[in-house]
Amino acid sequence: MALALLFPGQGSQSVGMGAALADAFASAREVFAEVDEALGQQLSVLMREGPEDQLTLTENAQPALMAVSVAAIRALKAEFGVNVTRAGFVAGHSLGEYSALAATGAVSPSDTARLLKLRGQAMQRAVPVGQGAMASLIGPKTDLALAEAAAQAGSEVGVCVVANDNNQGNVVISGEKAAVDRAIEAAKALGARAIPLNVSAPFHCPLMQPAAAEMAAALASAAIHAPAVPLVANVTARPESDPETIRHLLVEQVTGRVRWRESMEWLAREGGVTRFVEVGSGKVLTGMARRIAPEAESLALNTPEELEAFARSL
């Protein structure tokens, strides 16, 4: 049974995330302590106690989600003897790509936390609040072609592109607010529902170029090794293991499209994956996996009990 480990992106955070893992496993507590020290802040306390508005800030949510994912991976190995190399592939949604790299030993958790803190801050700096927007286009008629047509209509008044091709029925657009508003109207006319997203910046669009430049400078000096398991990258939807290629793709990812549907389709068809396991906080990717590859098994590992059950199933 070919296995792929999936790592969630922003939006999966919640107050209390990782608390059960920390209470149950010393190995998980070590990860949270390592991240706290790297950032010089008590992120683990914010994760456990909130307040939610502080946890939701991009610069906090990104390293927090990574920490929970890595804590789960480390607990799997330390407590149940399950190594990440049991998987054939890893993939992460947007910031989850960093979690995947930390989980596979390509980047240390400390370095990953610092990179994600900077990534969140750089994304926020790139576009003044209120000037950018994102919207989710949903419904049975929603596909990439519809979303691209809507984004094209929006681009007549400003920057507007497809940011996340999540799955059939769920595509996200991003750009300047006026352009996204125009695209929303176009999408509705084409038969989709459109929901403006409560985000602090227009991620994965050309407006993020200043953030990409900041990340390029930071990643240039970051220690990146070959991951123990190939990473199916967001911007190529293909497996990558070369450190320099990964370094380049992490920069490109800031402004580029998250090709999640294509990544999952590649894993199921070309990669032969029959079991998708989401590691960390929430179950967003599990739901997407079931829609994209319904013939495969999909499950999420959020709790100590779920980790134990998964280990026993191998």
Cite the active site residues.
94, 204
Backbone angles phi, psi at 41, to 5 degrees: -150, 160
Amino acid symbol at 261: R
| 18, β-bridge pairs | none
Under 8 Å CB-to-CB from 137, ≥6 apart: which residues?
Answer: 146, 147, 150, 170, 171, 172, 173, 187, 192, 193, 194
Q: How far apart are CA 137 and CA 217, in angstroms?
A: 34
CB atoms < 10 A from the CB of 261, how many?
A: 21
Sign of the alpha-carbon torsion through 193, 197, 202, 204: negative
Contact 101, 73 (CB under 8 A): no
Relative to beta strand 193-196, strand 2-7 is unpaired
Q: How far apart are CA 192 and CA 85, in angstroms?
A: 41
Closest CA to 307 of 3, 14, 21: 21
Relative to beta strand 89-92, strand 170-176 is unpaired
Sign of the alpha-carbon torsion through 38, 41, 42, 44: negative
Contact 156, 248 (CB under 8 A): no
Which two three-digit tokens encode residue 5?
């480990």
CA-CA-CA-CA torsion for 217, 234, 300, 200, nearest 10 degrees? 60
Q: Mapping DSSP to helix (H, G, I), strand (E, B) and coil, where does residue 191 land?
A: coil
